[in-house]
Amino acid sequence: MKLINKGKTKDVYALKDGNYLLKFKDDVTGEDGIFDPGANTVGLTMEGAGNAALRVTTYFFKILEEKGIPTHFIDANIENSTMKVKKAELFGQGLEVICRYRAVGSFLRRYGKYVEEEQALDGLIEITLKDDMRNDPLITSDALEMLGLLTADEYQTLKDLTLETCQIIKEELAKKDLELYDIKLEYGRIGSNSEIALIDEISGGNMRVYKNGKYIEPLELEKLLLDE
């Protein structure tokens, strides 16, 4: 097992069988000790955050697989906070696809002149480049195609897949009286046919979830979602 990347919230290891192992850490994104799922830096460490993220990720990936959504998930070892996944080819240096149901976070900061806080957005899709130095800039579909990162057909596939995936996640959260405000997903090409598949994680670390108008922290989300 060879360490190939030390990420903000996960370390990535290459396995001898050609797959990868993700080691979830207790570091979470944010600034000045305040958690923010949209931030590009590690803001703080929350004991148990890695394990909670893996539990929620495993929960959602299994549901999505059952519903026919392609993912890189193979299996997980909750005790060791590790997840075995298929090898995936990134789009360029990586893309982040954001689905927004309410105006909060960076969307509100950018467009606050035109929207009210928590205004409904009905599944608005945005794509950003994974580029910490440039603060993950937004990129248009035309620019994605011109730069050779996505074809027009792949962009539409990515958008349709995101809307389908997020609707499933939204409905699962609603069963616990939880409301999804926004979520950030990642994709890659998998297998010999380069199928577009969901990768990385789906947890409180990359989504904003509210209950009765109150934001739910990642550790609390795990308890509300998974504890009977």
d(CA 176, CA 28): 24
d(CA 142, CA 193): 24
Please give the average per-residue pLDDT across 148-171, as a whole number.
97
pLDDT at 46: 77
> What backbone phi and psi angles, to 5 degrees, belong to 211?
-135, 120
pLDDT by residue (tens digit) across 51-84? 999 999 999 999 999 999 999 999 999 999 999 9
User: How is residue 102 written in tokens?
Assistant: 């309410």
Pick the CATH number of 89-226 from 3.40.640.10, 3.30.930.10, 1.20.1440.60, 3.30.470.20: 3.30.470.20
Please give the average per-residue pLDDT across 211-219, as a whole number.
93
d(CA 201, CA 179): 19
For 2-88, CATH gives: 3.30.200.20
**Residue 36 pLDDT grade (very low, low, confident, very high; cuts 50, 70, 90):** low
CATH 3.30.200.20 location in the chain: 2-88
**Residue 35 pLDDT grade (very low, low, confident, very high; cuts 50, 70, 90):** low
CATH 3.30.470.20 location in the chain: 89-226
